[in-house]
Structure 1
Amino acid sequence: MTATPESRLAALDITLPVAAAPVANYVTTVRTGNLLVVSGQLPLVDGKLLITGKLGDEVSAHAGVACARACLINVLAQAKAALDGDLSRITRVVRLGGFIACTPEFTDHATVMNGASDLAVDVFGDAGRHARSTIGVPSLPVNAPVEVEALFEIA
């Protein structure tokens, strides 16, 4: 039997949350042709930020990895909602974009973003390998330390 994204999530003991509604003038997903774009998601768990603050200050790189992973879980929840509950329609993770709220001296952005990237590969296998950008920023909405956006190819 071929593993599905849902079976891989279950094996990882991950239950996707209900997709959060947008908090400003944007939509959470856009489908165009065979692409699905998911707007940036924060590390919300049970509706609350996993942690607040900046990497290189009050947030450790280890905590940042957990935040990036939580962001991708929320990205997947948005994708599942947009795809009528069927993550198997994702044929490729094309790109992930990561925004890391950090001090100017912090340079471990790539390690933090691996929290999202590693989970993408865990859930989608080779189709989860993707291009990505990881950018340090001075702040993010509601003092979140990490935000992740995604571009998927869909069937």
Structure 2
Amino acid sequence: MSIESKLAELGVTLPDAPAPAANYVPFVQVGDIVYVSGQISTDESGLILGRLGDTMEVEAGVGAARRCAINLLAQVRAACGGDLDRLVRVIKLTGFVNSTAEFADQPKVINGASDFMVEALGDAGRHSRSAVSAAALPLGVAVEIEGIFQIR
């Protein structure tokens, strides 16, 4: 089954790859490795704002991280010239969670992205990962995630 078909089965339609917001590129390819710049939590309604441990609960953070993963795959599709089936595997995700100093469930939040990658890609979605707290994220978003991927 193609990756796009699996996404459709999950009810997920990838958005167009978001344009960079400043003087950087959305991804860099070196050989068969694609480094995707941090994707902030957005959905069809716009930015997903919030601070875990303050204005946002873990479940909402999990949803925000899932949206970051969807945006990461949109960038990978762009890097693959529109053919997401060129994706070999997810190598690493680094997740940043806008959270209070007392909040300690960053890994639970970033599970939203990790679980989605495995759900959508199977074993190719299994990856190494970091999940860290941030005192603030761009535009007040709840989550930002960057990724490293292998493509054909």
TM-score bin, normalised by smaller chain: over 0.9
**Structure-1 separation of matches of 2:24 and 2:12:** 27
Pairing partner for 1:10 from 8, 11, 25 = 8
Deviation at 1:7, TM superposition (A): 1.1
Deviation at 1:46, TM superposition (A): 2.4
List aligned pairs for 1:139-154, cutoff 5 A: 139-154=136-151
Other-structure match for 1:129: 126
Change (3 A) 1:21 1:47: farther
Q: Per the alignment, in what secondary structure is the counterpart of residue 34 of structure 2?
A: strand
Residues 93-137 of structure 1: per-residue CA shift (max 9 Å, x gap) = 000110001000000111100100011001111011000001101
Other-structure match for 2:61: 64
Residues 57-98 of structure 1: per-residue CA shift (max 9 Å, x gap) = 001000000000001111111111111111111111000110
Q: After alignment, is 76-85 or 57-66 more displaced? A: 76-85
Other-structure match for 1:74: 71
5+ residue gaps, structure 1: none
TM-score by length of 2: 0.97
**Structure-1 separation of matches of 2:45 and 2:88:** 29
5+ residue gaps, structure 2: none
User: Which 4+ stretches in 1 moved above 2 angstroms?
Assistant: none
**Structure-2 separation of matches of 1:86 and 1:7:** 12
Change (3 A) 1:47 1:21: farther
Deviation at 1:53, TM superposition (A): 2.0
Other-structure match for 1:85: 82
Question: Does 2:110 correspond to 1:113?
Answer: yes
**Structure-2 separation of matches of 1:53 and 1:112:** 13
Deviation at 1:47, TM superposition (A): 6.1
RMSD: 0.9
Question: How many residue pairs are counted as aligned between the two chains?
Answer: 152
**What percent of counterpart residues are identical?**
49
